[in-house]
Structure 1
Amino acid sequence: METRPDPTGAQWRKSSYSGTSGGECIEVADGFPGAVPVRDSKNPSGPALVMGVEAWQAFVDGLR
């Protein structure tokens, strides 16, 4: 049985493309082998979505 990484206490970072106006941004946390935790920067105490690195790469590629 695979366990989901717990991003509690993770070090989060915003994209360098994020503006300073507090708009729509996501944050990601590093240091989770095989997984990428993602959260809404406007709601840092809210839930985090944890996705596999392949899904994250597909998401980033789709944005480009």
Structure 2
Amino acid sequence: CEVVMEPGICACCETCARQEGDACGPLTERCGNGFSCQPSPFSENAVKDMFQGKGMCLPAK
């Protein structure tokens, strides 16, 4: 897996990056290289979903 630092205050431990289509948000591991956490194309309330960790790792624009 692509190794990234875990989210949160410490950010001192390594974890695997999220991959394309994985759920993401401000408190989850970051998306892998070439991807960014974006609102789901099916979301009715993108801001709320993002903060609840219901975004999706999609190809970076």
TM-score normalised over the length of structure 2: 0.32
Bigger Rg, which one:
1
The structure showing larger relative contact order (alpha-carbon pairs under 8 Å, at least 6 residues apart) is: 2
TM-score normalised over the length of structure 1: 0.31
